[in-house]
Amino acid sequence: MKPFRIMFVCHGNICRSPMAEFVMRRLLESENLSAVVEVASCATSSEEIGNPVYPPAREMLRRNGISCEGKRAVRLKSSDYQQYDLFVAMDASNLRGISRIFAGGDPEHKVMLLLDTEIDDPWYTGDFQTAYNEILAGCRVLLQQLLCPEAFFAGGCFWGMEYWLRRLEGVRDVICGYAGGEEQNPSYEQVKSHQTGHYECVRVLFDPAKICYRDLAKYFFEIHDPTQRDGQGIDVGPQYRSAVFFRNPLQKRICEGLVAQLAAMGYDVCTALLPYSSFYDAEQYHQRYCERHKIEPECHIYTKRF
Q: From start to end of the chain, where are the E strands?
A: 4-10, 37-43, 86-89, 111-113, 150-155, 171-179, 199-206, 231-232, 235-236, 242-246, 272-275, 279-281
Per DSSP, the three-state class of 261 is helix
- Find the length of the chain: 306
Q: Which amino acid type is present at position 125?
A: T
Which of 10, 15, 157, 299 is catalytic? The answer is 157
The angle formed by the CA atoms of residues 268, 301 and 242, to the nearest 5 degrees, is 45
List the one residue out of 78, 63, 10 whose CA is nearest residue 40: 10
15 is catalytic: no
Asked whether the beta carbons of 302 and 223 are under 8 A apart, the reply is: yes
- Tell me the catalytic residues: 157
